[in-house]
Amino acid sequence: MNVIKRATLEAYWAKHAETEQPLREWFDTVRQANWTCMDDVRKTYVKAKPLNDERVRFEICGGNYRLIVAFKFSARIAFVKFIGTHAEYDRIDALTVAQF
């Protein structure tokens, strides 16, 4: 999958050092993935929560941080839409947020 935008993840982990390793691992896993549907995502990340047909919430650092990604499986693209603390996540609409 092509992840849009790695720079967003890098900027976040520069400010929140504890997220660097988990976000790097997530990025590397997704880049190597050949997912064609939401079930493929769930097979790799059993704690991932599909929000609709294209958006998924991933828990980072044991759930202290949340990552929302929109997938376009046919084009093999993963769009990072939000990364933030659990408290910040609680204040947004996960289905429409486009932080980046």
Which pLDDT does position 85 carry in this prediction? 95
Which pLDDT does position 57 carry in this prediction? 97
Q: Are 77 and 1 in contact (CB under 8 A)?
A: yes
Which residues are CB-contacts of 82 (< 8 A; sequence separation ≥ 6)?
66, 67, 68, 89, 92, 94, 97, 99, 100
Which pLDDT does position 56 carry in this prediction? 97
Cβ neighbours around 1 below 10 Å, total: 21
Is the model's pTM score more than 0.85? yes
Full pLDDT tens readout for the chain, 100 residues: 999 989 999 999 999 999 999 999 999 999 999 999 999 999 999 999 999 999 999 999 999 999 999 999 999 999 999 999 999 999 999 999 987 6
Which pLDDT does position 100 carry in this prediction? 65
Which pLDDT does position 5 carry in this prediction? 86
Q: Angle, to 10 degrees, between the axis of helix 20-32 and the axis of helix 6-15? A: 160
Which pLDDT does position 99 carry in this prediction? 76
Q: What architecture (CATH level 2) is domain 2-90?
A: 2-Layer Sandwich (3.30)
Using CB atoms within 10 Å of the CB of residue 14, give its burial: 0 to 12 exposed, 13 to 18 middle, 19+ buried.
Answer: exposed
Alpha helices by DSSP H, 4-99: 6-15, 20-32, 38-44, 86-90
CA distance 49 to 60: 12
